Amino acid sequence: MKIWKMEKYEIDINECSDGTNTCYEGSTCINTDGGYICTCPGGVTGPYCDIDINECAEGDHGCTQGSTCLNIFGGFVCLCPTGFNGSQCNEDINECLSLPLPCTGTGNCTNTIGNYTCSCNPGFTGTRCESDLNECDTTVPICNTGTCMNIHGSYSCMCSPGTTGDHCQTDIDECAETNTTICNNGTCQNEFGGYTCNCFRGYTGVDCLIVEPIDDDEGTSRLSIIILAVVVFVLLLFLVVVVVVVGLRIVRRKSRRKGVYSPAAVERESEGTVGPRTEKERLL
């Protein structure tokens, strides 16, 4: 502090304006009569505001969300954990609005306090939906009888002949198709994923398109069997008729021997004078 003396007056020197004060940078110099004082901002103290206050050590920092306090001259800095920002780490970061997109564009992002979650679209997996899901790698075939082809974010089914649909789940009824050579010379029986032809006599092959020579001996043999069966049937029928006729004759004979007792006939038979029976006896 300097005081200039004149003959009759003392003139005060304003150290704050002439730059001769020693207040630390950032503090405020207030001129006084014959001197000055330093008004310190937060974080420093001392006559000249050149002594740092360690807010981190004193616990007077206000850092939140488990952040780390870093002391600096005249203040402190809060080192925020992931998901937070702000001077005291008390502001949540909405990661869903950040770029690049946290869910890699293949999922729906939901912001949470200090974090986020991803709901993956079909065909993707991972915490950020960053991995393709191999739908073909399952214990139960999703393409039924077809072949599963994995593609990025999805899959495709290559159906085997006889089936169709997204998962090859629908059978094609080949027997119902028109303008086809299927079983032209036979009857068609539909099956799941295919069909079977029951060929007419003289045809063979999968679709009954191959002409098969007919065995004449086989035809003759079948005809002989039919003729033999007819002969046997006729003989059996004749035998039945004979048995019936013989039976009827035996019954008739027995019925003739039965009648009303006639003493005169008995007497004639005993005397050996059997003659022609009377009209009455014949009626009896």
Q: What is the pLDDT of residues 123-165, one digit of tens each?
A: 999 999 999 999 999 888 899 999 999 999 999 999 999 999 9
Q: What angle do CA 177, 183, 186 make, to 5 degrees?
A: 130
The answer to whether residues 83 and 97 touch, using CB atoms and an 8 Å cutoff, is no
Instruction: Return the pLDDT at 250.
Output: 83
Strand-strand pairing, 35-39 and 28-32: antiparallel
* Token pair belonging to 253: 């004979």
Q: Please give the Cα distance from 20 to 44 (Å, whole number).
A: 21
Ramachandran bin of 137, using left for φ above 0, alpha for ψ from -120 to 50, beta for the remaining angles: beta
Which CATH code for domain 174-211?
2.10.25.10
Taking the complete model, does pTM exceed 0.75, yes or no?
no
Q: How confident is the model at residue 283 (pLDDT cuts 50, 70, 90)?
A: very low
Q: What is the mean pLDDT of residues 206-216?
A: 83
What was the pLDDT predicted at 140? 87
Q: Give phi and psi for 124, each to the nearest 5.
A: -130, 155
Report whether pLDDT(14) > 60.
yes
According to CATH, the superfamily of the domain at 1-52 is Laminin (2.10.25.10)
Tell me how many helices (H) and strands (E) the chain has. 5, 22
Identify whether the C-beta of residue 15 lies closer than 8 Å to the C-beta of residue 36.
Answer: yes
Query: Residue 47 in contact with residue 38, Cβ under 8 Å?
Result: yes
Q: Where are the alpha helices (DSSP H) in the chain?
A: 15-18, 55-58, 216-257, 263-271, 279-283
> Do the bridges between strand 124-125 and strand 131-132 make them parallel or antiparallel, or are there none, so unpaired?
antiparallel
pLDDT of residue 264: 54
Q: Measuring CA to CA, which residue among 161, 158, 154, 194 is closest to residue 175?
A: 194
Tell me the C-alpha to C-alpha distance, in Å, between residue 44 and each of 28, 48, 75: 12, 9, 8
Tokens of 7: 């003959």
Task: Indicate the helix (H) or strand (E) that contains 137.
Answer: none
184-200 pLDDT, tens per residue? 899 999 999 999 999 99
For the chain, residues classed under CATH 2.10.25.10 are 1-52, 134-170, 174-211
Q: Which of 179, 173, 166 is nearest to 194 (CA)?
A: 173
pLDDT at 30: 94
Q: Does CATH number 3.90.1580.10 belong to domain 134-170? A: no
- At residue 23 the predicted structure's pLDDT band, cuts being 50, 70 and 90, is very high
